[in-house]
Amino acid sequence: MTANIDREFIQKMFPTLTKMTYLNTAATGIPPVPTIQAMKEYLDNRTKAIGTFEETLNTFKEIRLNLANLLGGNYNQYGFVPSTSSGVNSFAHAVQYEADSNIVICDIEFPANYVPWQNICKLNKLELRVVKSKDGAVSIEDFNDMIDENTKIVAISHVQFGTGFRADVVELAKAIHERGGYLLTDIIQSAGWANINLEKMNVDFAAAQAAKWLIGPIGAGFCYLKKEIANELKPKFLGWWGVKNIHDFGYAEREVLDDARMFQVGSPAMVAYVGLGASLKVLLEIPAEKRESAALDNGEYLRNRLEEENIEYFKFDKDNESPIVSCKPDRVDELNKTLYEKKIFCSVRNGRLRVSPHFYNTKDEIDHLVEMMRNRNV
C-alpha cells in the first residue's frame, strides 16, 4: 500500500511528481533522480575519456544481477536487446519450426507481441491462431482450445497494455509444455510493479524494456531465457557480443554463448543501460511485496471510485487485476485533452481512458482525477 512506502523517499526520488498528477506509467514511467544523475555522469565521463571496457562489462553484469534479483532466476538468464520488439523477434527467429507448426496469440496484444508472429508465420508458412478476447480478457480455456501437439509457441503479455488484464502465465506454461512447445511472455507491463519470479513461473522466454514500470530510460531492453532450452535455439543474427571470448578481437571461428547473451548482437546503448542500472537499485530499495501492494492498491481504489461515479471499466477476477485500469467515460478524447491541459496525465487506448498508477502515486491523485471527470459531467 502507498502508506507503507515512505513518502519522503518518494519525494526525494521523484520530485517532479509534486508538480503534476502522473497516472500514465503504462506509457512511460517517471525516472528517479539517481537515474538521471547516473546518465549525466556517464556522458560527462565520456567527454573526459573516463572509463574502461572492463568497467563496462562489470556494469552490465551488475545490471543482469539486479534484473535477476528483481525478476527471478540467475543473472546468466538475462541478456540485453534494444527493445521488447527486438527481444520477441530474437526468440521467434531462433526457434526451429516443423512444417506443420502453429503459433497461438490473442487479439488484445500490443503490436510488439503480434506483428513479429504474423511475420514469422508468413516467412515460415505456419498457422497463426488468434484467441478472441471478451470484455478485455482472455481465458485459459480458450487458449487450451487453440493449443495442440503442433503448437510451437504460445506468446502472451503478462499484463495487457490496453485493458490491464493479468494472465495466468503459470497455467499457460503448463498447457504448452504438455505439448512440447514454448511460452514467451511480454513482461513490459508487469516488470517493476509485480512481485514475479520468471523461473518459478516456468517461462521459456520473456522480453521487456526499462521505460515503463521499471522507471528507466527508453532503449534499455532485456530478455530472459530459460537455461534448459538454450541449446535448442539457433540465433538468426549473431554478433561479437553474443559469442564466447569477447576479448578476442582476432579472426577465429567463434562459438555462440549458451545463455541469454546469445541475443546481444552489438554494443548496447550504454547511456540507457547506465540509467536502467540506477533505476533497478531504486526499485530494489523497496521490498517487492510493498511495490506490488502499493500499485495494486491504487488500482483497486481507482476502480472503487469509478464504481461510485457509475463510469464503466473492465472488471476482472482478483488474480487477473493489475494497476492498469481501462475505463469508458463520455467523450474520452476530449476528456484526455482537458486532463493534459491540467497536467493530469493518462492515455487513450482503443477508445478508452487508460489510467495506470504506480507505487509512487497516492489516493489523493486518484481523487483529483475522478473530481475532474465528475466536474466535466456536471
Per-residue pLDDT reduced to its tens digit, 285-342: 999 999 999 999 999 999 999 999 999 999 999 999 999 999 999 999 999 999 999 9
Residues counted in the chain:
378
Beta bridge partners of 207: 186, 223
The answer to whether residues 352 and 255 belong to one domain is: no
Of the residues 246, 267, 284, the one at which a domain ends? 284
Q: Would residue 30 count as lying in a domain? A: no
CA dihedral over 297, 143, 211, 26, signed as positive or negative: negative
Same domain, 150 and 250: yes
> CATH number, domain at 158?
3.40.640.10
Three-point CA angle 350, 352, 358, nearest 5°: 105
In a domain? residue 28: no
What pLDDT, on the 0 to 100 scale, is given for residue 374?
A: 85
CATH of residue 357: 3.90.1150.10
Tens digits of residue pLDDT in 154-205: 999 999 999 999 999 999 999 999 999 999 999 999 999 999 999 999 999 9
245-301 pLDDT tens trace: 999 999 999 999 999 999 999 999 999 999 999 999 999 999 999 999 999 999 999
Using the predicted structure, report yes or no on whether residue 148 has a pLDDT greater than 70: yes
The percent of residues in the chain predicted with pLDDT above 90, rounded, is 97
> Which pLDDT band, with edges at 50, 70 and 90, does 377 fall under?
low
- Provide the mean pLDDT of the chain: 96
For 104-121, write each residue's pLDDT tens digit.
Answer: 999 999 999 999 999 999
- Check whether residue 336 and residue 357 sit in a common domain: yes
Does position 237 have pLDDT exceeding 60, yes or no? Answer: yes
Q: Is the pLDDT of residue 16 over 80?
A: yes
pLDDT band for position 101 (50/70/90)? very high
Distance from C-alpha of 335 to C-alpha of 340, rounded to nearest angstrom:
9
The pLDDT value given to residue 136? 97
pLDDT band at 5 (very low <50, low <70, confident <90, very high): confident
Q: What cell does 278 get? A: 540506477
> Does 349 score more than 80 pLDDT?
yes
**Domain identity same for 235 and 102:** yes
pLDDT surpasses 70 at 1? no
Take residue 22 and report the three cell numbers written for it.
Answer: 502522473
pTM, to two decimals: 0.95
